[in-house]
Amino acid sequence: MQESIAAQRRELKALLQAPLREVARAAARVWPRRAELDSVLQNLLARVPHCKYLYALDVHGVQISDNVGHEGIVQADYGRDRSERPYLREAVPAEGFRLSQAYINLREKRPALTAIQLVRDDSGMVLGFIGADFFLHDLPLTRELYEEPRYWRQIKGDPSIRGTVFHQTRTESEMDRRIDTVLAVVEELMVDHGVFHVILHFSSSRAVLWVFDDPYRYRLLDIDALVSPDSCLAYPRRPYPEGTVVPREAIRPVLTQLRALRFMDEMFYLRSGTLNLFNGIVGLTFSCDGSHYIPYDEFLGMDQVFWLGNVGGQ
């Protein structure tokens, strides 16, 4: 994810650096006169692609112009001290340009970022900064879809639950009592009826399904539906989808392993398990509220001894 974000930031920097240098050169000639700065910013706003507001700041981060936007001049921020805003907390590099990390805009409460450009006079002395605000939804990013990595990740859960795990025991649920039927129905749905993602909530006896033919909406199955093979009739028969990471013959072993983890110990046990056929990830949430996301093939190589040691240590 960080690599994807870094690539987008490089593209934005290349897009914005030259026009903001032009704004800074023009602003230096009228610095620090408010009305003339406003005029310069108005004239050059169109040169800065997708910019929401342009404004000038002195060396202390205090605004010495108005906010200049495509809708006109906003005078409310003249004299505002921006020195504590995220985009001014880090030093501007020697090249004179810095693109901030994304932050939440104070007025609109939307993700935004700010480009800061140093303003120098002819002698090279720093006069202040030009600030340019952008909303993320306005920016022409390529936004290639981030690809979820396939490696084991462990996430600790609620500390209050972890702290009481030694004082709890598993209470048998209706799904526990009918687990073999439930897993047979789920396997059938995934192999022959287009279900590509399932979340099994063992403790609350329910499942959430996503279907290949209608991926934007989930289906919620209660225990009555899960223990009835007739439920499969509500889902059209579909060939096993192409492009999956999990082969169809691995679905039953994964479900069997989830069953084993549910019953492995009265104190440390599986509360919920997930399987996604396209990214090949098995998700696990244990009684200590710790969660794991593991490639299915790696998951199948882990026995109960491993999990009892790992979850207990967590």
pLDDT at 163 over 60: no
Mean pLDDT of 197-209: 96
Residue 239: pLDDT band (50, 70, 90) is: very high
Q: According to the model, what pLDDT value does residue 302 have?
A: 82
Task: Report the largest interatomic distance among the alpha carbons of the chain, rounded to a whole angstrom.
Answer: 83
Q: CA 246 to CA 281: how far, in whole Å?
A: 9
pLDDT at 307 over 90: no
Q: Is the pTM of this model over 0.75?
A: no
Q: According to the model, what pLDDT value does residue 66 have?
A: 94
Mean pLDDT of 2-8: 72
Helix, coil or strand: residue 188: helix
Q: According to the model, what pLDDT value does residue 12 have?
A: 82
Contact 265, 201 (CB under 8 A): no
Mean pLDDT of 196-209: 96
> Could you report the per-residue pLDDT of 244-287, keeping only the tens digit for each?
999 999 999 999 999 999 998 887 889 999 999 999 999 999 88
Residue 167: pLDDT band (50, 70, 90) is: low
Residues 6+ apart with CB under 8 A from 35: none
Continuous segment of H or E residues that includes residue 253? helix 251-262
Which domains, from first to last, does the chain contain? 2-138 (3.30.450.20), 153-313 (no CATH)
Q: CA 195 to CA 271: how far, in whole Å?
A: 21
Find tokens 């025991």 and name the residue: 169
Q: What is the mean pLDDT of the chain?
A: 86
pLDDT at 231 over 80: yes
% of the chain with per-residue pLDDT over 90: 55
51-65, 96-110, 186-200, 230-244, range with the lowest pLDDT: 96-110
